[in-house]
Each structure stands twice: as structure tokens, then as C-alpha cells.
Amino acid sequence: MATKPSTQPNLWRQISTFFYLRPTLSFVLLLAPPLLWLGVVYLGSLFALLIQSFFRLDDYSGKVVREFTLATYEQLLTRANLDIITRTASMAATVTLACGLLAFPLGYYIARFASPRTKGFLFLAVLLPLWSSYLVRVYSWKLILAKEGIVSWFLAQLGLSGVLETLLKLPVIGGPSLSFSSMGMFFVFVYVWLPYMILPIQAALERIPNSLLEASSDLGARPGETFRNVVLPLAFPGVVAGSIFTFSLTLGDYIIPSVIGNSSYFIGAAVLSHQGTSGNIPLAAAFTVVPVVIMGIYLFTARKLGAFDAL
Amino acid sequence: MLNTVTHPTTTTPAVRFSSVSKHFGEVKAVDNVSADILDGEFFSMLGPSGSGKTTCLRLIAGFEMPTLGSIQLHGQEVSGRPPYERDVNTVFQDYALFPHMSVGENIAYGLMIKKVPKAEREKRVEEMLELVRLPGMSKRRPSQLSGGQRQRVALARALINRPRVLLLDEPLGALDLKLRQQMQIELKAIQERVGITFIFVTHDQEEALTMSDRIAVFNHGRIEQVGSPSEIYEHPATAFVAGFVGVSNLITGEAAKAITGSPDTFSIRPEKIHIRDAGIRVEDGECWADGRIRDVIYLGVNTRYLVELNSGSDLAVVQQNLESTSMDVLAARGREARLVWRREHNRRIGN
């Protein structure tokens, strides 16, 4: 009776002591699962993808030839495929730019002016859409942007139907209705990815001590100069982080282009159809490498521009 | 409350506060302060935290606008003018160096804003780095510097603009004691060299006494006393000043009457009191009180005694350890003694 309760804690104590005295072992045990996940599932699959892109599809048999070749990349660089890449990249760039322009003032307000209450409310407002299904939201937008949808109706009430029609007649961004145009697709992309831009920008702005802004104005800088010389450079890592999200998410998305828009191909949709319908896994893999390369170049440039100097 | 100190004021003061108040909601951070800060002087604003000294500094810089009253810089009304339109510069408590710029870029910031040509900017940055004794450091990043070095960069960044008034907000607070003492001497030397009005905010009375030409002692948003270090130390105007600047014994009521014959409150500095043998003869012009040494604290350079007077109150006494050892002084505990000091060291306190 007297010995029994004391052996139980002793065993735990021994285990605790065992690990306390071997911090390296504890670290290894704790880090092994995430590292395995990261190494095998993330990087492993990415690597498999990269290898696939150097195989090719035999046109006659429809089978993948598992030999090293650059033929698939040659195919990737044909006119039609380059169009898809340019279309996707320019959409991603415009969406990122628009998200940045919309997110910065809001992030600035949340970080520097909002009271704790307002801040909480705005956070909720920014995050709330992310709690609902992405598909539901995209299909809702299809209805909102449709010819008989609320946007057309509202513009008609304002007597601005003419403006919408003129815009839809424009080449490239136009189409039969907003829900079948690049313009409409652009709106939906900006809508779904905006929170991913607001949050990092807000976090970066939040980290700028007030005294830096005071120091700048103390040294003679007007508010605009302070913004250009202090706020913007220090918030830049946040802008880059946000743009990585919006840019890469737009590059890879295949649902919005297939639901909204004029059914011209985007990278995501091309990958889907190449690996599914036509079974051309190597070309699908090569297409997937494109966003990775673009993001790599983007990050490299951002680094060269000093985006991460203040980190 | 305000003691006007007689100084020849032939020139306009660098800074003039006329009945300035700053309220944050219900809190009166600065409460009807009037003061003149003279051109070229080293002026300290001393007080405990929350006494309004930093708010006063921020009012001069233009980061805050007064609720009431007016502030003049060299005779010009500035309340309502933003910081970038005032000829003052600030050294911030946290230094506020721009982390994305090199030391040189930080120092040149004010000149860059003024569109001074690059060649001249670089020349003046080098001069400033010489002045603050950091030559050749202009390529470094602020994050690569020690606290003391950042402090110097912040000083150089403010001074390069050749402001007429330099504001320093507890700039030495984050440094360790040795470095702080060294910087105190350096700051004073730099101030004398450049001849700019320095307004220095601190809660450290020793720092204020070391560097200042004049000190304003703040309490509850008001100035209790303005004067030279020796005036503040030797002639404290209020009980607060007597207690905050240095250590003081405040004696009041019966105990005061037993010593001076009057029940009015007076203060006596601990280092002015001598401990003598009980019953020793007292000279003319000397005050005395008998008591028992209750506690002895050996502090190396000097020793602090706590003496319980027969009349009831306690007196702190500080004696230098000129010839005594720790054994000698510690043996004094519990001994009866007569405390003796010169009558002119008694300071009558108003309220």
C-alpha cells in the first residue's frame, strides 16, 4: 500500500529525467514526424513531378516513355502552351497588384489606427469568408456576375448598363457577360485571395514601431516622404509574403477559370486536362514546373531588391 | 509652484512654455507649465515616470499638441505646427534607428530629405561619425551595433541637421552603469562643442546633476522647481524635490522643535551629519540630536547609518569610509551617539 503509489510517479520521473538529460534525442523524436512529412510527402512528390516532366508521351502508343528527354519542354514552349502560361501569369500579376492596392490601406488602418474592438471586428470580417466553402463562394459569384445577376441589375438601376456593355466589348478582358469574361474572373480571384494579402501586410505594418515614424517626421520628412522612405520599405516583406500567396494561388487555380470565364485555358486547367483526359502526365508535370520556376524568379528578384533586408 | 531663477535673459529663450497643459482624456499629463529654456544651455527635465517630463519633450518636438497654452521656439509660436516644420531634433529612448538602412543612411536621413547633394551628405556623415567616435562605421547595419553604438548613431542622426534645439528622451536608460557614466561625460562635451541647446529627459537624478546647467524637477504634470544642480540639491524648494533629488531626512513636528526650536519641517542631507560620541560638547552654530545607531549598511565608499533619535524619528547618516574599515563601522551598531551638523545645512521646507 505504501510502495505502490510511489512507484508510479517514479517511472514517469525516470522517463522525464531520461529525456531531460538527452535533449538531442528529444528534439529528434519531436522533429522526425514533421520532417518525414515535409521530406517525403512535400519534397518527394515535388521531386517525382520534376522527374515526370523529363519523360515524354509516346504519341502512337499513348504510353509514357521513361527516358530522360527535353521533348516535353519543347512541347511546352509551343505557341498554344505559351499563350496559356502568359494568360495565367498576367492574370496572377493583375490579381496580385489589385489585392496589394486594396489590402494596403486596410492593413494600414487595422495596424495603426483601429481600436482593439474595431480591429477584432475587421479581422473577423476579413477571415469570415475563408470559413465557408471555396466552391460555394465561386459558384455564388457565377450567379452574381451572370447576365441576369445582381451586378447587371444594379448597374441598370444606376443607368450604367452602357458602361458595362462597352467594357464587355473590349478584347481580351471582355466577353458575353461578366460571368463569361476575364474581367469577371479577375473580380472573383481578387475576392477569394484578398485575405491572404491583407493579413501579412497588416502583420508587417503592426511590427513597425511608432517611434520610427516619429523619428522620420522629426528629421524633416512630410507624411508622404515618411511613407515612401520608412513605412513602405519596412512593410515590403509583408507585401512580398502576401503576393506570394495571391500570385501562386492564382497561378495554380483551375476551378475559377473553369467556372467563371470564357473557357480559355489556364495553367491549372491545362494540367488537369493533360493528366486526366489526355493522360499526358509528362506535359502536365512540365506545366506544373512553370509556377514553381516563376515563383523562384520572383523571390530571387524580391531578395535582390532588398525585400527581406529588414527581417 | 514655479521658482523663477535669476538669469540674464537678454536673448529670446530657445523654448518658452506659457501656461501649457496637455490632457489625455481625464489625465492631466502636463498641468499649466510655464518655463523658459535658454539658448545654448543643457537643460534637464527630471522626474519620476508619469510626471509629465516626456510629454513636455514631445510637445516641443511636435509629436503632441498642447491642450492649452502656447509653446515658442526662439520666439516663434509652434503649437499647431507638425514636427517636420520645427527646427528641433530628437534622440529617442529606443533610438528609433531605421532597420532597413545602414548607419550612414540613417545619419544622412535628414539631409536626404532636405535634398542635400550626395557628396556633401557623405562628408557630413563622416564628420558626425568622428564626433560620436564611430569612424568608418557607416556601412554597418544598426542590428550589428551594440546598445552604446546605436545610441551614438541616434545622436549623430539628430545632430547632423544642426538643429537649434536637441531633445533627448532618456537616451542613456538602456545602457549599463559604466557606459552610462562615460556617455554622460561625452554628451556634455559634445554639447559644449556644438553649442546647441540640449533638453534632456531623465528620471535619474544623478545623471541630471552630472550634466545639466539647469534642472526642472517634475511631479504630477507640474514643475516643482527650476534651478542649477547645486540650487536644486542644496536648496530644495519643496519636500518632493528634497526627497527626489538625492536622499534627504525630513524632520517635522516635535522632533524638529527639539532640534531647531521650531516645529516647521526642515530637511537635512545625510552626508552633512557627523556621528560623534554620546555627550560630546557641541560648538556654537551646530545642531545636534542624541540617538542610538540602529542599523549600519557598509557600501564600500561610504557607510549608511540609520539612527533612531531619542525624540522618536529616524535619521539617515552617510559617512565616507576615509579611515574606517568595515569591521569598525559594523561594530557601531547599537551604540549610543550624538549627531552633529552645521545649522546652515538645515533647509526649511515650505509646505
What DSSP letter does each residue of B30-55 carry, written as one string? EEEEEEEE-TT-EEEEE--TTSSHHH
Q: Are residues B231 and B269 in the same domain?
A: no
Residue B3 lies in a domain: no
CATH architecture of A71-304: Orthogonal Bundle (1.10)
State ipTM. 0.82
- Give residue B2's pLDDT: 45
Amino acid at A173: I
A227 vs B contacts (CB less than 8 Å): none
The domain in which residue B288 lies consists of: 249-348
Q: Choose between B248 and B203: higher pLDDT.
A: B203
- Give residue A104's pLDDT: 95
Cβ atoms of B221 and B207 closer than 8 Å? no
H or E segment at B268?
Answer: strand B266-268
- Give residue B8's pLDDT: 46
Nearest chain A CA: its distance from B322 CA (Å)? 48
Inspect the interface and report whether the beta carbons of B82 and A211 lie closer than 8 Å: no
Q: Are residues B316 and B213 in the same domain?
A: no
Ramachandran angles phi, psi of B32, nearest 5°? 55, 60
Inspect the interface and report whether the beta carbons of A215 and B98 lie closer than 8 Å: yes
Among B183, B215, B237, identify where a domain stops: B237
Residue B242 lies in a domain: no
Inspect the interface and report whether the beta carbons of B113 and A219 lie closer than 8 Å: yes
- Give residue B3's pLDDT: 44
- Give residue B139's pLDDT: 93
Q: Are residues B200 and B269 in the same domain?
A: no
- Give residue A309's pLDDT: 63
Nearest to B24 by CA among B79, B65, B82, B83: B65
H or E segment at B68?
Answer: strand B68-73
Residue B9 lies in a domain: no
**Number of domains making up chain B:** 2
Percent of chain B at pLDDT exceeding 90: 57
Among B237, B261, B286, identify where a domain stops: B237
A215 vs B contacts (CB less than 8 Å): 90, 92, 96, 98, 157
pLDDT digits (tens, 9 = 90+) for A188-231: 999 999 999 999 999 999 999 999 999 999 999 999 999 999 99
Residue of A nearest to B98 (CA): A212
pLDDT digits (tens, 9 = 90+) for B79-88: 889 999 999 9
CB nearest A221 (choices: B84, B96, B158)? B84
Residue B244 lies in a domain: no
Residue B185 lies in a domain: yes
Q: Extract the C-alpha cell encoding B227.
A: 534651478
CB hemisphere CA count around B304 (13 angstroms): 11
Tell me: pLDDT of B165 over 70.
Answer: yes
Cα B301 to Cα A20, B152, B304, B320: the distances in Å are: 46, 31, 10, 6
Entry pTM: 0.79
Tell me: pLDDT of A245 over 50.
Answer: yes
CB nearest B109 (choices: A219, A309, A310)? A219
Inspect the interface and report whether the beta carbons of B89 and A217 lie closer than 8 Å: no
pLDDT digits (tens, 9 = 90+) for A82-96: 999 999 999 999 999
A222 vs B contacts (CB less than 8 Å): 84
Coil vs helix vs strand at B227: strand
Residue B280 lies in a domain: yes
Residue B206 lies in a domain: yes
* Pairing of the two strands B42-46 and B214-219: parallel
